[in-house]
Amino acid sequence: FPTLKKSSDVIFTSIPGSMTQKILSGRTSRPKPFRVTNVDRSVKKGIMADVLVDLINKVSDSMSLEGASALVLDEDGTSVDTEDFFQTLPENAVLMVLEKGQKWTPHNSPSRDRPSDCKQKPRTDVAKLTFDLYKNNPKDFIGCLNVKATLYGAYTVSYDLRCYAAKSVLKEVLRWTIFSMQATGHILLGSSCYIEQLLEEEERVEKSLALPQESRIRQLQSKLLGKISY
């Protein structure tokens, strides 16, 4: 008789002389938003992906790269090279894409163009605000706004404002605008018809008053002509 060994994800069925393996797709991964920057951090884009391969392909297409050799964490340069580690990343994690020959550099690393003996004067930042506008989907109308505030270089507060409903709100505003314009047009059309009827009624009254006077004038003319003929 066949024996079954069942787990949450894989079912193994063993039969004398054969073995089959069936992978169950019970858990479906949900796409997560990521922010990907280039090596010099001059370009940052928001991309939705559910697996590592999908993210690499979308990054290559979005940034017009011939081939992305590696993805690392922008914070500390940790390489994102396995699917298991990729699935543990939180939403809106900042990644850096590297091409062949490029290496990760920390945020406060000195520029290559400056001489090594040139030292910067130490300074103390009181407050620093960073605004990051990105889109999780290219079809998004406005996108998302991430505001990050740093006080004295030690305390950091961030807020992520997602404007997913802005497009639907704009549609409702346009729909009500069109409805109000149509209603205004119907009111103006009805008012013009009513005014036209009033004017026609006044003209009819004036004509009805003018007819008796014309008939009297004709009667007087006929009487005068009759007397002259005699």
Q: Which of 109, 77, 112 is nearest to 96 (CA)?
A: 77
Task: Give the mean model confidence (pLDDT) for residues 59-75.
Answer: 82
Does the pTM surpass 0.75? The reply is no
**Percentage, residues of the chain above pLDDT 70:** 67
> Domain span at residue 196?
165-230
| Distance (Å, whole) CA 38 – CA 16 | 55
* The pair of three-digit structure tokens given for residue 197, joined into one six-digit string: 């009827």
pLDDT in tens, 157-189: 888 777 666 667 778 888 889 988 988 988 899
Q: Which of 130, 189, 181 is nearest to 160 (CA)?
A: 130
- Does the structure show a pLDDT above 80 at 50? yes
Asked whether residue 138 falls in the same domain as residue 177, the answer is no
Asked whether residue 152 falls in the same domain as residue 182, the answer is no
Q: Sort strands 93-98 and 32-37 into parallel, antiparallel or unpaired.
A: parallel
Last residue of a domain, one of 141, 163, 185: 163
pLDDT value at residue 2? 42
Asked whether residue 65 falls in the same domain as residue 49, the answer is yes
Q: Domain containing 156 — which CATH number?
A: 3.10.20.10
pLDDT in tens, 80-113: 888 888 889 888 889 998 888 888 888 765 444 4
Asked whether residue 197 falls in the same domain as residue 127, the answer is no
pLDDT value at residue 20? 37
Q: What is the distance in angstroms between the CA of the first residue and the CA of the last residue of the chain?
A: 143
Whether the Cβ atoms of residue 86 and residue 52 lie closer than 8 Å to each other: yes
Asked whether residue 41 falls in the same domain as residue 148, the answer is yes
Is residue 9 in some structural domain? no
Asked whether residue 181 falls in the same domain as residue 208, the answer is yes
CB count in 10 Å sphere of residue 135: 17
Asked whether residue 170 falls in the same domain as residue 132, the answer is no
Asked whether residue 84 falls in the same domain as residue 54, the answer is yes
Asked whether residue 158 falls in the same domain as residue 171, the answer is no
Share the mean pLDDT of the chain.
74
pLDDT value at residue 28? 57
Asked whether residue 222 falls in the same domain as residue 172, the answer is yes
The total domain count for the chain is 2
Of residues 126 and 165, the one with the higher pLDDT is 126
